[in-house]
Amino acid sequence: MNVFDMVGPVMVGPSSSHTAGALRIAGMVRVILGERVVKADITLYESFAATCRGHGTDKAVLAGLMGFETDDGRIRTADVLAEEAGLACRFTFKDNGGVHPNSLDIEAVGESGKVLQLTGASVGGGSIVIHRLNGIAVEFTGELHTLIVVHTDMPGVVAAVAGILSRCEINIATMKLYRSVKGGEAIMVLETDQPVNEGVSEDIGLIRGVRQAVVIQAMVSV
């Protein structure tokens, strides 16, 4: 634990959990989608739902979908800016439903028509955990350099990804594999000691069976 685990990130308040954390979850949607978000259905659960407008959670989510950082003064007017940018959003409020009380679901549509579904939780101090991508249970935080590889569950993909990272002298800190069903869609989550640049992710995207390779640069809580 360091001092930032106790005091939280530099942010537009009032809450590191309900404002900064919500923004970072929504920001993951924009990064993984890889393009401008034009439409989103957002479901807020329990604590998020109860304090949504008082803690600016709704504005924080909109700000994250537009790519703002936690200390961006525009968060306070994110609802107006979203409307001006043509970002159509609908908010729904629900009881817990078996998820973390500071949880939200987002189904987002990008400008190309690409759709992404994501579930995340704000776990305190601006930290987040992503629990689900496109219906597949996952677990990652974005606090380390992270590579998300969406691929078909088939032999050779894991070895090929690891081989490219090895040749580029990128050390894998953790690797987790998730899949819907055998032979179906799978998601590989790799945390690395060094950043993965676009050239490396593009090479990974050319591997047979890989549908998408997304780089998430380490979250810096300063």
Task: Tell me if residue 85 falls in helix, strand or coil.
Answer: coil
Q: Which helix (H) or strand (E) holds 179?
A: strand 172-179
Q: What does the mean pLDDT of the chain come to?
A: 88
Q: Dig out the tokens for 73 from the structure.
A: 């003064």
How far is 214 from 170, CA to CA, in rounded Å?
A: 15
- What DSSP state is assigned to residue 19? I
Between helix 157-167 and helix 198-205 the angle, nearest 10°, is 150
34-84 pLDDT, tens digit per residue, is: 999 999 999 988 777 677 765 678 999 999 999 999 889 899 999 999 999
Asked if pLDDT for residue 192 goes beyond 60, the answer is yes
Q: Which domains does the chain carry?
A: 3-134 (3.30.1330.90), 145-216 (3.30.70.260)
Single pTM value for the model: 0.85
Could you tell me the CA-to-CA distances from 184 to 26, 83, 136, 210 in Å, in that order? 26, 38, 11, 12
The three-class DSSP label of residue 46 is: helix
* Local confidence band at 10 (pLDDT 50, 70, 90 cut-offs): very low
Q: Rounded to whole angstroms, what are the CA distances from 93 to 24, 118, 122, 128, 131? A: 19, 16, 16, 20, 19
Residue 105: pLDDT band by 50, 70, 90 thresholds? very high
pLDDT at residue 1 is higher than 90: no
The predicted structure's pLDDT at residue 158: 97
Local structure of residue 65 (DSSP, 8 states): H
What is the β-pairing status of strands 88-94 and 37-45?
Answer: parallel
Lowest mean pLDDT among 8-22, 81-95, 151-165: 8-22
